[in-house]
Chains A and B, each alone.
Chain A
């Protein structure tokens, strides 16, 4: 069945996330292998960056993909939504792990409560290639002033609140708030600009 799906998409082209999710919903384990090969590394990198512990990161990756496997039949496969959903779930689990480690039980969100639809790609039809987008994000983050970047990293990878970031950087709360806001607006705009050039996964050489 999976091979059939591959054939439909044409020789040499990689099946998109929606096609793989449809296969996954039918219980095709090979579809999960494909998705793991596509996103496993990025999810692992994220989990490792947050937890700073490879065992924990492996555990999180396994949990996230197992969750994807289990809930695939409930998933409404909409193109492009899978990746941010995987990242969101992975980050929340990794931050939970951090908090447990720090014996802080406060949870921001229940990780299982986030539905794929709660992560909306602004323009799913013009979803740029994973590799290109990854490079773009790094470029934008690296272009930010050092303190601004540090504030965003503390919030994103350490799960710190505005006031925690302000305390960590010994900066006024208002300053930290606008740093984080400005950085994210720049990221959003850069990605939006990138998506002015629509392409599909199939066009990749």
Chain B
């Protein structure tokens, strides 16, 4: 571009054929590579230089020249337009062959199918992803369950664990078994537990020989009334200090002290 600005002043001399040396070689190179500045610049310079033709002294060509020229013209065939360069002006109509339409249609169809397949694949991928997520959640849930079961089994099987049997008030209430390990907590196990009103939960209490009951966790049986849960005793109360375990019905979050009569009681012998 900077070179072109410098070469600009040589366009006319170049067209004249007067330009020499490096400048001419440089401009030749620009034109050879179709320089977008110099090519039109030189074309315009050709016009300016061609105008110098008018400076030639006026001379009348011999009348015979015209006749001679037309004679030659009559004998000379014009060049034919190459097929590719046919323009509309010459009446040539460019027709698209059938195979081209077919090829174009095939290309369009190919892209349509590819696009459709890509959409399908994307949908499938989304399904697989959500399935995977669900499976992952399920796996996590089962894993957590397995760990809980392991700790429950560990508590039940541990050497220092004491089994306490809690008897329910009333004939229909099932027995609840508690396995208390001083280090690992209390496992509660029962079947056919009565269902609780919404917003209510069962709370396990350790009833010491002296003082107020200590909470040992809040729990809810599952929908079928099954209970198998590990809870922890708050505070440091040992088996030897405890008189009994009791279960009361409390608000869902649990209470600091029992607010109802115990539904299950199991003395520690």
Residues on A facing B (Cβ under 8 Å): 22, 25, 27, 29, 32-33, 36-37, 40-46, 48-50, 54, 57-58, 61-62, 65-66, 69-74, 76, 83-85, 87-88, 90-91, 95, 108-109, 114, 117-122, 133-134, 137-138, 141, 152-153, 155-157, 159-163, 165, 177, 180-181, 184-185, 187-188, 191
Asked if residues A141 and B43 are in contact (CB atoms below 8 Å), the reply is no
Q: Decide if B260 is an interface residue (CB 8 Å cutoff).
A: no
Give the residues from 2 to 27 in chain B that come closer than 8 angstroms, CB to CB, to chain A: 9-10, 12-13, 16-20
User: A23: shortest Cβ distance to chain B, in Å?
Assistant: 12
Partner of A45, one of B42, B59, B62, B76: B59
Interface size of B by CB at 8 A reads 49
Residues of A within 8 A of B20 (CB): 161-163
Complex contact A74–B85 (CB within 8 A): yes
List B contacts of A188 (CB < 8 A): 12, 48
Give chain B residues whose Cβ lies under 8 Å from the Cβ of A37: 66
Taking CB atoms, residues of chain A closer than 8 Å to B66 are 33, 36-37, 40
Question: Are the CB atoms of B55 and A153 closer together than 8 Å?
Answer: yes
Counting chain A CB atoms within 10 Å of each CB, which of B9, B18, B85, B87 scores highest? B18
A134 to B41, CA, bound (A): 23
Closest A residue to B44 by CB, please name it: A120
What is the number of contacts between chain A and chain B, taking CB atoms within 8 Å?
175
The complex places the Cα of A181 from the Cα of B16 at a distance, in Å, of 11
With A108-B17, A180-B13 already in contact, 15 other A-B pairs whose C-beta atoms are closer than 8 Å: A25-B90, A42-B53, A42-B56, A62-B68, A69-B73, A71-B79, A88-B46, A91-B53, A109-B17, A119-B43, A156-B49, A159-B17, A161-B20, A184-B13, A184-B16
B225 touches A (CB below 8 Å): no
From DSSP, what is the main secondary structure of chain A's interface residues? helix
Q: How far is the CB of A157 from chain B (nearest CB, A)?
A: 7
Interface string of B35-46 (1 = CB under 8 A from A): 000001011111
**Chain B residues within 8 Å of A85, by CB:** 50
Q: Name the A residues within 8 Å of B90 (CB-CB).
A: 25, 73
Rounded to whole Å, the gap between the CB of B54 and the closest CB of chain A is: 4
List B contacts of A108 (CB < 8 A). 17
Minimum C-beta distance from A184 to chain B (A): 4
Contact: B78 with A27, CB < 8 Å?
yes
Partner among A48, A69, A137 whose Cβ is within 8 Å of the Cβ of B52: A137
CA distance A160 to B70 in the complex (A): 34
- Contact partner of B79 (CB less than 8 A), chosen from A40, A74, A161, is A74
What residue in chain A is nearest B77 (Cβ atoms)? A70
B97 at the interface (CB under 8 A from A): no
- Of all chain A residues, the one with the shortest Cβ separation from B9 is A181
By beta carbon, the residue of chain A nearest B71 is A62
Contact indicator B50/A84 (Cβ below 8 Å): yes
Q: Any chain A CB within 8 A of the CB of B88?
A: no
A156: chain B residues at CB < 8 Å are 16, 49, 52, 55
CA distance A125 to B91 in the complex (A): 26
**Cβ-based interface call for B80 (8 A):** yes
Interface centre among A33, A45, A160 (most CB of B within 10 A): A45
Distance in Å from the Cβ of A188 to the closest Cβ of chain B? 5
The 5 closest A-B pairs by CB, nearest first: A49-B56, A120-B43, A84-B50, A137-B54, A44-B61
